[in-house]
Amino acid sequence: MKFKNIISATLVAMTMISTTGCEDFLDKNPTSSLVQEQVTEDITGMKMLLQGTYRMMRDGNNNPASYSPLGIGVLSVSSGVDMMVNDEQPGNNWYFSIYSAQRYEATSDVPVNLWKTLYKIISNTNTIITSVDNLQAEESEKNNIKGQALAIRARCYFNLIRFYQHTYSIAKDKPGVPLQLEPSLEPRARNTVSEVYDQILSDLTTAETLLSDYDRPAKDYYDQDVVRFLLANVYLTMNDWANAEKYANMIRTSYPLMTMEEYKAGFSTVNQEWVLGYKQTSQDYWWYDSPACWYDFGQNNSPWQAEQILPNNHFVDVIMKDDPRNLTIPNPIYEGRYASVKFLELRDESPYGDLFDLRAAEMYLVEAEAAARQGKTQLAKEILNQLQTQRGAAVTAESGQSGLIDAILLERRKEMWGEGIDLFDILRLQKPVSKKISEGHYQNIELPANSNRFIMMIPEREMVNNPAMTQNPNPASVPVFVP
């Protein structure tokens, strides 16, 4: 790896909020008692707490940012079949060790820190949600703060439930994760998957109402559109096709697709298609949040050259052949491999480029898939073709329902590669994973659909500290989900 010029700054609010002396794994207080009083006594303190919570969400609570939404996306990408971890750099891929024990075992950094980070953020949102209504302020101001906190909490739970249990359609009655809805994170048993999804939907639908008049100052903030984006994905995961179509349509009809020139520009400048993204200033650089970092083998102009993720040869030579979105080059370091130029740093000194998170093209594909699964094949085809035409890609002629769904799922791979949907699609679609050395992968890996290696075990420390907690099956002894 190569360090260039890494600049970081921590907000005063972030320093206050993340400091706690608790030893319990799920910290029982999101702040010290002094800060707890300060942030809940007036609307100014509550805004400070919300800003600090945003920062925790964006940088993964300094764990590093591998546990932020963008870091989680890279973890998801490395779990799929189109991208692969650089196995030629021993010792540097601990975070991504593909389906090894490090990815799921109860004492490993990945399941431990992901769990800990998301529950820390949830604890902060709980303080906001339970306290803001009691403050002296305009009702609209309180609604905006509470709505944003509910949306953040819902997204955290959505990530938790997808990493620590199988998909809703087969596991809705299985143990999910504990629903902690108060600032004090007392030990609790795991709620069922369906109960967790009910809470996610409750948080998001409430947030949708509360944020109806919220005009966010920048695309860094969760507004009603971000909420609707999340709702579409939650409903898609639940196979609730009608609601997935409904909410995806709200985004598709509000956010025009970027041009192909913008697509090729490196995903480092906010444009009309971005629904959520983060502006970097001269005072900070979220180094492990940057996709340019993870894919950089010297070609992406990133301050941190990680040399970690590269496109699989089969994906480049076969899946993406002749597609304008095949933004790859021969790898500058490893002969016979490829490297991505889809994600580029905007400049080589601060302020660096913007960081994208959610963009509307995904909602085009969600709406198309949801429509097709309901038999609305003409509508689904029109939406799919609209995206393909905008990208200058081959236009799908398939009209049959099954073939059209397959075409839409293939288009998700082509349009969204490297952006974090891979593992979540494997789970919700109950797909196997096949990685072959003969197709350019470093390893031969064959995992059946619903493999228990796709999900993580509950952290051991949580098991020790919480007598009500139950553990997920160990893939070494129970390789596949048991109904």
CA-to-CA distance for 207 and 197, rounded, in angstroms?
A: 15
In 3D, which of 65, 75, 83, 71 has the Cα closest to residue 10? 65
Would you give the distance in Å from CA 194 to the centre of its chain?
20
Q: What is the pLDDT of residue 243?
A: 98
pLDDT in tens, 244-256: 999 999 999 999 9
CA-to-CA distance for 150 and 128, rounded, in angstroms?
A: 9
pLDDT in tens, 164-186: 999 999 999 999 999 999 998 78
Q: Which residues contact 297 (CB under 8 A, 6 or more apart)?
A: 305, 307, 310, 331, 332, 333, 334, 339
Q: What is the pLDDT of residue 122?
A: 96
Q: Mind listing the domains of the chain with CATH numbers?
A: 10-465 (1.25.40.390)
CA-to-CA distance for 225 and 272, rounded, in angstroms?
A: 13
Q: DSSP states of 231-287 as a string?
A: HHHHHHHTT-HHHHHHHHHHHHTTSPPPPHHHHTTTS-S--TTEEEEE---TT---G
Q: What is the pLDDT of residue 302?
A: 85
In 3D, which of 204, 194, 199, 287 has the Cα closest to residue 243? 204
75, two tokens: 């973890």
CA-to-CA distance for 421 and 237, rounded, in angstroms?
A: 12
Q: Which amino acid is at 472?
A: N
Q: What is the pLDDT of residue 377?
A: 98
Q: What is the pLDDT of residue 58?
A: 83
Residue segments in the chain with a per-residue pLDDT below the cut of 50: 1-34
Q: Which amino acid is at 159?
A: N
Q: What is the pLDDT of residue 219?
A: 95
Is the bond preceding residue 291 a cis peptide, omega within 30 degrees?
no
Q: Which amino acid is at 191?
A: N
Place of tokens 């470093």: 442
Q: Which residues of 219-248 are buried (b: 16+ CB within 10 A; e: fewer)?
A: bbbbbbbbbbbbbbbbbbbbebbebbbbbb
Q: Which residues of 116-153 are buried (b: 16+ CB within 10 A; e: fewer)?
A: bbbbbbbbbbbbbbebbeebebeeeebbbbbbbbbbbb
Burial classification of residue 218, based on how many CB atoms lie within 10 Å of its CB (0-12 exposed, 13-18 middle, 19 or more buried): exposed
* This prediction's pTM: 0.92
Beta-bridge mates of residue 278: 355
pLDDT in tens, 357-411: 999 999 999 999 999 999 999 999 999 999 999 999 999 999 999 999 999 999 9
DSSP character for 454? Answer: G
